Amino acid sequence: MLNLDSGDGAPKNRAREFSQARAVKQRGGSAEYAPVMTAPPQSTHAVLGIETSCDETAAAVYDGGAGLLAHRLYSQAAMHAEYGGVVPELAARDHVGRLSALVSETLAAANLCADQLAGIAYTAGPGLIGALLVGGSFAAGLAAATGARLLPVHHLEGHLLAPMLEARRPRFPFLALLVSGGHTLLARVDGVGRYQIIGDTLDDAAGEAFDKTAKALGLPYPGGPELAQLAAIGQTGQFRFSRPMTDRPGLDFSFSGLKTAVLTALPRATTSQDRADLALAFEEAVTDTLAIKCQRALEQTGLQQLVVAGGVGANRRLRALLQAASEQRGFELFFPRPEFCTDNAAMIAYAGWARLSEGGDATAGIAARARWPLHTLTAPP
């Protein structure tokens, strides 16, 4: 069954049905029904995570007892660079070509066979529909072959829970700043699937603003890290941009005006040092704005822990600003390691495991949703 843009629930005894069916068929002695990879019977709490929502093909295994056992990632960035952005059809085709080998490599690194898995989690959205379908189809096939539970995961839930992969983890409830390529939001997180969005972007996401501004500065795709690198040699003072929407109450963001302000200032940046100064002024405006809104949200909610997730969370200036604020104001700060800020499968494996361990969320078909608002998620039953 192909379930496009629905993500509906499905019978929870599906895994048991598969196991029973497999057992019956194996007793019948037919090799035809044997799972692709066989192993001595052994129960694990391991969940395979698969991420193919955009331009990274990634796989990881998370185990409830042992933690993260393995993770692998292939970035398509070089392939898309010549087009200046992600080409959806090319992304989907590349996932098809790489996913199977990447999963085998990840399972080997985790020292597991596929039929030892308790669950197979995959990013079901939001993302590029063709790319999502590659991961979803693969996950569904492997779950059918092995009897593992099939676990559709919301990509942003993966980002929000990524700090749980670290030794020092937040405890529920906490405040989360999610700053990625497609999203910028502040959420109160009360548990798995319990997200209350208290601040959102009215236009561009922070990562998108980084990428567009980098493009205007002539930097290669993906622009955010390139712009941050250029800003590192910039000097403060020559350019200054306002911190959007910080002069009024509220927790929403707006970054498109900032991008336009950089475009307007661009003709004045004639030397390479000028361009570095301009990059720094932009980075300062974005990161100051994010830090101001985080502190405002902590005050308003009374929460004492701040989690920063998503690709822009890898930005060093943002990390340093929030670190200084946490020392000054006494709140606890949690970041995933930089490689788990951007897209990865470790966060998908963890989110799948978290849902499975709280009662599951298994579905019968492939869910793939290009758009999927985070606030519509619910806690596991």
Instruction: Quote the least distance from Cβ 300 to ligand ATP, whole Å.
Output: 24
Pick from 312, 325, 354, 367 the residue near ligand ATP by CB under 6 A. 312
Residue of this chain nearest to Mg ion (CB atom):
343
Cross-strand pairs, 341 = none
Q: Which stretch binds ligand ATP (CB under 6 A): 113-121, 178-186, 323-331, 353-361?
A: 178-186
Q: Which of 295, 285, 278, 201 is nearest to 244 (CA)?
A: 285
Q: Which of 297, 298, 290 is nearest to 318 (CA)?
A: 290
Q: Which stretch binds Mg ion (CB under 5 A): 73-81, 170-178, 223-231, 337-345?
A: 337-345
Told to check if 224 binds ligand ATP by CB under 6 A, we report yes
Rounded Cα gap, residues 49 and 61, in angstroms: 6
Pick from 63, 115, 284, 343 the residue near Mg ion by CB under 5 A. 343
Q: Could you say which residues in the range 115-144 bind Mg ion, by CB under 5 A?
A: none
Pick from 342, 347, 349, 369 the residue near ligand ATP by CB under 6 A. 342
DSSP 8-state secondary structure symbol assigned to residue 148:
P
Pick from 163, 193, 207, 360 the residue near ligand ATP by CB under 6 A. 207
User: Concatenated DSSP letters for 286-308?
Assistant: HHHHHHHHHHHHHHHH---EEEE
Pick from 54, 124, 333, 374 the residue near ligand ATP by CB under 6 A. 54
Told to check if 222 binds ligand ATP by CB under 6 A, we report yes
Q: Which of 374, 343, 348, 11 is nearest to 165 (CA)?
A: 348
Q: Pattern 180-209, binding to Mg ion, x per CB under 5 A? A: x-----------------------------
Pick from 63, 211, 277, 284 the residue near ligand ATP by CB under 6 A. 211
Rounded Cα gap, residues 106 and 97, in angstroms: 16
- By the 10 Å C-beta count (0-12 exposed, 13-18 middle, 19+ buried), 312 is classed as buried
Helices (H), 111-185: 129-146, 155-161
Told to check if 234 binds ligand ATP by CB under 6 A, we report no
Told to check if 55 binds Mg ion by CB under 5 A, we report no
- For the chain, helix (H) and strand (E) counts, in that order, are 11, 12
Residues that bind ligand ATP (CB under 6 A): 54, 155, 159, 180-183, 207, 210-211, 222-225, 228, 310-312, 314-315, 342-343
